[in-house]
Amino acid sequence: MGPCARANSESAPASYGKWAGKVQRIAAAAVLLAALVAGVAAPAAERAVKIVALGDSLSAGYQLAASEAFPAQLERALKARGVAVEIANAGVSGDTSSGGLARLDWSVPDGTDAVILELGANDMLRGIEPKVTRDALDEIIRRLKRRGIEVLLCGMLAPPNLGAEFARAFNAIYPELASKHGVVFYPFFLAGIVTDPKLNQRDGLHPTAEGVLTIVDRILPKVEALIAKVKAKRQS
């Protein structure tokens, strides 16, 4: 038996006789078709939306375990809803809006899809001139948008004891910037917990783990709107 005859006898059952080659070709085509159908029926897993929480101690999780901080609890809540997401904690306790601007480039790495911007509480507590806060937040948003990064701006409110004039100027910063830049806006980051001692630590300034969960529950629709903007941009 020659080499060609041996190759044919080894590559197809002898019982197919002269039809062996044709049967092989049909079988190979069927395998290829099945693979193509499987690829259509089971699309690749959706790429996770990468979010950075750029903030102060309210994002960092002051006196809390890392798993209890705002970014971690928010990520779990979204994943429980079937959302593919990764949220990085770029909160620095004591940071001001100007501090956030100074570290913006290395706090928000390339590949980030969206930023939850939570800064200004320390500006308010220190009585920093509202224009300084406004200019820093304005520049942060401008730089992020220039990089194609979506933004959720979290507002802060000044207490009355800082004076009516200061409160008016400070409280106006966030809605005005949200309108100017067309970003997703959550008016008051501490809504629902600020007057409840059970949801705050002893200092009365920072939420407990349960308080953070309340923040997450309230802000979740805005975060979902942020993610929707990211996904819409991917499809455009």
Could you give the CA distance from residue 150 to residue 43 in angstroms, rounded to a whole number? 26
Catalytic-role residue among 15, 110, 203, 236: 203
Active-site residue flag, 203: yes
Tokens of 6: 């041996």
Alpha-carbon gap, residue 2 to 9, rounded angstroms: 11
- Mark whether 9 is an active-site residue: no
Catalytic residue among 95, 107, 123, 206: 206
Length of the chain: 236
To the query of whether residue 217 is one of the catalytic residues in this protein, the response is no
Phi, psi of 108 (to 5 degrees): -120, 90
Q: How far apart are CA 134 and CA 156, in angstroms?
A: 12
Q: Which residues pair with 191 in a beta bridge?
A: none
Q: How many CB atoms sit inside 10 A of residue 94's CB?
A: 12
- The active-site residue, picked from 56, 57, 95, 98, is 57
Question: Which residues are catalytically annotated?
Answer: 57, 203, 206
